[in-house]
Amino acid sequence: MSLGGYRLNIIITGKRNVGKSSLINALLKQDIALVSDTPGTTTDPVYKTMELQPIGPVTLIDTPGIDDVGYIGEKRVKRAERAFMKGDIGLLVIDKNLDDFDYKIINTFKKHKIPYLIVLNKIDVANIEIDEENLVKVSAKNGEGIENLKQKITEIKPEEKEVPLIPEFIQENDIVVLVIPVDTGAPKGRLIMPQVTAIREILDRKAFPIQTSVEGIPEVLSNLKGKPKLVITDSQAVKEVNKKVPEDINLTTFSILEARHKGDLSILSKDIDIIEKLENGDRVLIMEGCSHRPLAEDIGRVKIPKWLKKYTNKKLIFDFIAGKEFPDEKDTQDTKIIIHCGGCTLTRTMMMRRLEHIKRLNIPIFNYGVLISYLHGVLDRVILEDF
């Protein structure tokens, strides 16, 4: 399997002034990264997306020096470490022998199972011998070793484990009904990513996707010659859709499908009955994989807290993390449960890395679809046996 439509995320990291930005310019053969002899020029992770031959589409993530100091420096280092969670490959740039800072990065790569290379830069002015199997020597200044580095990157490029969004039991000539609510939360004039992906996968299997609103379900079902093999709905409408779809027709949600497509459904649904044990003052962390402007009826920031408080009849405290932000042990000391979005903007690698991190924190985590279906009493129906 390949990374498919996803870009390969390459982390460029190392101490200050070892030539990380210069290396990016050498790889891309463009002066797009700011280069300076002053340590600490790169202050935040910088994402540069483009085509890098012979590797293919990539995003190079230029991080601040991992040895930055002071209060602001510590903040920069923390952001750099969080950027690691998005990495498919790591490049540790050095210009001298490895020290404690470098080994800290190597251990982080190993912890998150990120394949990495050690890039010895400035070989035009330094003659250093390092006994490391995955060492690549380059000179970002004159381009020496850059093509070899690209080749080494292709050799360690991970194979993304692809799990289809649409269940495997959907085959040629099957009918799949997609329920797409038209409300204030729906983007005007377009479909969201899981809906587009679902339609394409169904078509690729030579099956037939039929789209309808919630209100149109009865008419669509009555006009079909046979039963659809599956009905997929937006999680927010699952309670109403459940009433309109007969029990002998498979029903699930886009978010439930995302849980198995991008992550691990067994992890994202395990111990869901802990909801019954929440008490007044318990903290709930809502995690979103992307940053977006919250709507008046935002699913993560408004609707889920409202539904959860109504279901438990408890005064819960909600915290929110979006996009690049990521919780550590200090942030989650009092957190009882974590609720994560479907992760449509994340790769499977990113989501699995998040789940592994949360597992180390020993906090139950569920995704939006699992939680919403549970609160509406339909979880047993939407998690199909064929999953």
Q: What is the pLDDT of residues 121-162, one digit of tens each?
A: 988 766 677 777 899 999 988 999 999 999 999 999 887 677
* Residue type, position 330, single letter: K
In this prediction, residues 108-113 reach a mean pLDDT of 87
**In this structure, what token pair is assigned to residue 184?**
């204030």
Q: What is the mean pLDDT of the chain?
A: 86
Name the CATH superfamily housing domain 8-156: P-loop containing nucleotide triphosphate hydrolases (3.40.50.300)
Q: What pTM did the predictor assign? A: 0.78
Do 229 and 170 meet the contact criterion of CB atoms below 8 Å apart? yes
- At which residue do the structure tokens 């997609």 appear? 178
Q: Which of 3.40.50.11410, 3.30.70.20, 3.90.25.10, 3.40.50.2000 would CATH assign to domain 271-375?
A: 3.40.50.11410
Cα gap 118→50, rounded to integer Å: 23
Q: Which helix or strand (DSSP H or E) is residue 94 part of?
A: strand 89-94
Q: pLDDT band at residue 218, thresholds of 50, 70 and 90?
A: very high
DSSP symbol at 249: S
Cα gap 304→257, rounded to integer Å: 19
Q: Which of 3.50.50.60, 3.30.420.10, 3.30.428.10, 3.40.50.11420 would CATH assign to domain 175-258?
A: 3.40.50.11420
Buried b (16+ CB within 10 A) or exposed e, 297-325: ebbbbebbbebbeebbeeebeeeebbebe
Cα 118 to Cα 94, 95, 137, 349: the distances in Å are 7, 10, 8, 22
In terms of C-beta density within 10 A (0-12 exposed, 13-18 middle, 19 or more buried), how is residue 230 classed?
Answer: buried
